[in-house]
């Protein structure tokens, strides 16, 4: 206990031991506590874990169509459960349009505390003003530092590898349908290593019944369930 909780004193550790059924004097606890060495703080991993539920990240990816047009997919990711919170498709991203998407993604009473984004010029004054009004703290990453928005970069890479790189997109409505279908699969069925092999929206374990495969995106992926 002394090693794992360097800020605890003898009285605190003594109280914990009493709750665990160890009848020991506080002076004995003090005698055997770890002494010396630097006062260790929480790890960076612990810090991120404790704040993940209050952090979201946004980014856009360019999607070419069959007719060589360019569409922009706007994605919002929640850090807490790696959930894809919102997506929208547009031909012409503007600060006004993205500000409206933030309002739709986060109801005013449920807005997160921090929003991580890159330094794209499309996030203009209208966009940043909307964040301030909603009480969201804007946190742009450093220039040429995509690793600072690593969760979102990983999401975009996953969407490309598992979906967009394997399909021909005919237009804006088609891309919106494809991404909506993949987002449902991503949130409800796809397991994540960071979530102890669970899905972002918590996939219940099924232990009885016949196993059947549910086709996702016409068989591009499969979800296995028991019926």
Tell me the pLDDT tens digit for each residue of 62-96: 999 999 999 999 999 999 999 999 999 999 999 99
Asked if 85 and 121 sit in the same domain, the reply is: yes
In this predicted structure, what is the pLDDT of residue 49?
Answer: 79
Asked if 37 and 56 sit in the same domain, the reply is: no
In this predicted structure, what is the pLDDT of residue 51?
Answer: 86
Asked if 60 and 133 sit in the same domain, the reply is: yes
Asked if 27 and 56 sit in the same domain, the reply is: no
Q: Please list the ranges in the chain whose pLDDT falls under 70.
A: 36-44, 108-109
Asked if 159 and 190 sit in the same domain, the reply is: yes
The CATH number of whichever domain residue 106 belongs to comes to: 3.30.420.10
In this predicted structure, what is the pLDDT of residue 185?
Answer: 96
Domain count, the chain: 2
C-alpha span between 8 and 3 (Å, rounded): 9
Interhelix angle 95-105/125-133, nearest 10 degrees: 20
Structural domain boundaries, residue 167 = 48-195
Asked if 119 and 167 sit in the same domain, the reply is: yes
Asked if 63 and 26 sit in the same domain, the reply is: no
Asked if 100 and 37 sit in the same domain, the reply is: no
In this predicted structure, what is the pLDDT of residue 37?
Answer: 61
In this predicted structure, what is the pLDDT of residue 109?
Answer: 66
In this predicted structure, what is the pLDDT of residue 85?
Answer: 94
Asked if 70 and 149 sit in the same domain, the reply is: yes
pTM for this prediction: 0.81
In this predicted structure, what is the pLDDT of residue 3?
Answer: 85
The neighbouring-strand residues paired with 58 are 76
C-alpha span between 204 and 102 (Å, rounded): 30
In this predicted structure, what is the pLDDT of residue 47?
Answer: 73
The 3-state secondary structure of 30-88, one letter per residue: HHHCCCCCCCCCCCHHHHHHHHHHHEEEEEEEEEECCCCCEEEEEEEEECCCCEEEEEE
Asked if 111 and 148 sit in the same domain, the reply is: yes
Asked if 22 and 121 sit in the same domain, the reply is: no
Residue 54, CA distances (Å) to 7, 80, 90, 110 in order? 26, 7, 27, 10
C-alpha span between 16 and 129 (Å, rounded): 48
Query: Does residue 3 fall inside a structural domain?
Result: no
3-state secondary structure of 178: helix
**What are the structure tokens assigned to 19, written together?**
């709750």
């Amino acid at each position: 206990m002394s090693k794992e909780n360097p800020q605890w004193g003898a009285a605190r550790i003594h109280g914990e031991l009493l709750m665990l059924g160890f009848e020991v004097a506080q002076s004995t606890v003090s005698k055997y506590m770890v002494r010396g060495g630097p006062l260790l703080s929480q790890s960076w991993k612990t810090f991120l874990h404790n704040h993940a539920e209050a952090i979201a990240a946004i980014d856009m990816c360019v999607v070419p169509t069959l007719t060589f047009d360019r569409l922009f997919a706007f994605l919002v990711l929640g850090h807490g459960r790696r959930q894809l919170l919102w997506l929208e498709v547009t031909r012409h991203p503007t600060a006004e349009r993205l500000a409206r998407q933030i309002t739709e993604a986060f109801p005013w009473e449920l807005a997160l505390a921090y929003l991580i984004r890159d330094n794209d010029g499309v996030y203009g004054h209208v966009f940043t003003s909307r964040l301030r009004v909603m009480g969201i703290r804007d946190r742009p990453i450093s220039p040429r530092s995509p690793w600072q928005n690593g969760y979102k970069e990983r999401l975009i890479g996953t969407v490309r590898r598992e979906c967009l790189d394997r399909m021909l997109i005919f237009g804006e409505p088609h891309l919106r349908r494809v991404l909506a279908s993949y987002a449902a699969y991503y949130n409800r069925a796809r397991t994540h290593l960071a979530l102890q092999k669970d899905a972002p929206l918590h996939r219940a374990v099924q232990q009885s019944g016949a196993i059947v495969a549910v086709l996702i995106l016409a068989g591009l992926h499969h979800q296995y369930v028991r019926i």
